[in-house]
Structure 1
């Protein structure tokens, strides 16, 4: 997948946006941009090939909705297994069957399956991949970003783009290059992982529990192997310390009461779990998303999901600005919308871990109280479920805006037989109006589709490409709707155009990539 250019050529795949990191976040973002017609290059320092050594196994409802808006959810649902209860620790499980979503469950599916689907989509959309390409430096000015890279043969190269997005993980080279700190700390050290065969099949799809000194998690790969993650309070050793199967068995027995006869490990490793967040997700023309912007404990399975939702928030904004349909200031909303969500996920995942590992009397009492509260208090339970699944997050709205503005929009039925998230495919806004209100996309048909409610509802609702309400009115007229469309999608007569910066950028010296 590596392209080759001369030292002074400019190529379409090197203009527009450079995404660094070919994990789930980078793949979704790059695919969105390419589908919108933005030239995009995805740099990845690893060799081409998706590893099956996944850490993420849970796909939550809000992420499934975003994948649905890209035509991938049904395919992935067929490959995974559904679970309508998420167990956080002994006696505390979240009931997902009443979620206000098409996906009233979580999907148990290894991360590599998500990456495979997103990579295929990105390739089909025209993303240019450059594997074995490592970012070694980055500079920017008011018009472009220059990225210094080292190619597969060790040679230096320079790439330029209008914008760069770092989705390159915990040790992000992009974050380091723009001087962003990554404050936080290691929460759990010496977590062990293994892929094993089991002599005894667990009774539940996801097996998880914690006691005062140990935690264990077991999930199926779908190929006969199971991923086991474990931690023991008394085993605090460096990540470099070798792991053996007996250690993993012992931790599993402590946490789960038995080790299920695990054998024939095909892979074992040790890592530590951090809680960190970059203060700024945007520095000039450079953005951070996914683990490059925030890392959390594995509790609740929120890490990959949060990154994918970062990408869904950023991609349409970059496309709108580069196409000339939105002012550059729109990109600032990525920080105001996603940074608070990342902070909230840090709090919720960290809280789950601390309660799961409770040992002192007052923390055990707090866990017991929370378990009891979630069992009876519907508003509290709904809030916790909304946070863990991503369904409950909303974005800031201007003062005086309609109450729906900034809220996630459910997958409502439309008059033409489509669902909303089917209508969102292609990265367009969707305007939903009453049946007797006729608004044609006209010159906006490249970025807007229109539909009617299937009921007698009179509210006009403009839904952003990421499924959140951009604007709404309970008493709309054509002039009001036109004003809202102009604000959100640009003037009707605006013709898509790349910014001067995007047209200028290219490869100064490509070094064989």
Structure 2
């Protein structure tokens, strides 16, 4: 059975997880997507209910998450056809997929879909045209100005937007609609000097761990 709600929000009613979508249970993808639904919605609800963000922020929940549900519906239906049909056509398709999975790029692509780690909100109304918008921010070690060790994900535990300055207090502008009370501004240096993003001078990360853009030095 595959089901996808026509709407994820109607007024003050929101649906997430199994209330929003049902899929083939193999692989636990529906569970992963349901957890992501909740992560996407909870910080937006908190910001609106506390009066720190406008109600329009909640409209981005459906705009961001329903396309993910639709994509997963297609993916799990394809998996079901491969796993449950045994006619010559499906057996040939299964053999073809087995050959394709020997290609590293194809393997990585499907692993990203199955895990949900390849999700990108680049088309979201929450973002402008900044570099790296909508991509999942990878965790990495940081050193604060007092030389204390931390990491990006530890700083996100405050459930606020995270503005990280990596070079001499460089600040990137916060979006005009973002209440400064919702942001945590931190000066921190990369603890791993050989990271590919070490030329990033400042970055802004959403409470759910997705990048809202960065400035390079």
Q: Shared fold by TM > 0.5?
A: yes
Which of these residues, 94, 97, 118, is aligned with residue 392 of structure 1?
A: 118
Q: Give per-residue Cα distances to partners, 1:477-503, cap 9 Å, x unaligned.
A: xxxxxxxxxxxxxxxxxxxxxxxxxxx
Give the equivalent residue in structure 1 for 2:209: 467
Change (3 A) 1:276 1:392: same
Q: State the shift of 1:338 in Å.
A: 0.5
Query: CA-to-partner distance for each residue in 1:149-188, whole Å, 9 max, x for gaps?
Result: xxxxxxxxxxxxxxxxxxxxxxxxxxxxxxxxxxxxxxxx
The change in CA–CA distance for 1:309 and 1:451 in structure 2 (over 3 A counts) is farther
1:291 maps to: 18
Change (3 A) 1:391 1:357: same
- Pair member with larger Rg: 1
Does the Cα contact within 8 Å between 1:321 and 1:327 map onto a contact in 2?
yes
Q: Is the 8 A contact 1:297 1:350 kept in 2?
A: yes
8 Å Cα contact 1:431/1:450 also seen in 2:
yes
Residue 452 of structure 1: aligned partner? 188
Within-5 A mapping of 1:62-81: none
Q: Which residue of 2 aligns with 1:309?
A: 36
Normalising by structure 1, we get a TM-score of: 0.37
Given candidates 333, 336, 354, the residue that maps to 2:81 is 354
Mapped partners of 2:140, 2:28: distance in 1: 27
Residue by residue over 1:316-362, the C-alpha shift from the partner in whole angstroms, topping out at 9 and shown as x without a partner, is 01111122221111111101111011111112222112101131111
Q: Which protein has the bigger strand share?
A: 1
- Normalized against structure 2, the TM-score is what? 0.83
The within-5 A match list for 1:200-279 is: 274-279=1-6
What is the CA-CA distance between 1:426 and the residue it aligns to? 2.7
- Quote the Cα distance in structure 1 between the aligned partners of 2:189 and 2:109: 28
Cross-structure match for 1:420: 152
Deviation at residue 379 of structure 1 after TM alignment: 2.2
Q: Is the 8 A contact 2:131 2:215 kept in 1?
A: no
How many residue pairs end up in the alignment? Answer: 198
- Name the SS for the 1:424 alignment partner: helix
SS of the equivalent of 2:42 reads: helix
Contact 1:428/1:465 (<8 A) preserved? yes
Deviation track 1:285-338 (CA, whole Å, cap 9, x = no partner) reads 111101000011112211221111100000101111122221111111101111
Equivalent residue, structure 1, for 2:106: 380
Counterpart in the other structure of 2:168 = 436
| Unpaired segments ≥5 residues, structure 1 | 1-273, 476-513
> 2:201 touches 2:215 (CA, 8 Å); kept in 1?
yes
Note the C-alpha offset of 1:453.
Answer: 3.5
Change in CA separation of 1:356 and 1:341 when aligned onto 2, cut-off 3 Å: same
The separation in 2 between residues aligned to 1:449 and 1:352, in whole angstroms, is 44
Larger relative helix fraction: 2
C-alpha offsets along residues 387-425 of structure 1, whole Å, 9 cap, x if unaligned? 100101111246861241111110122223211111111
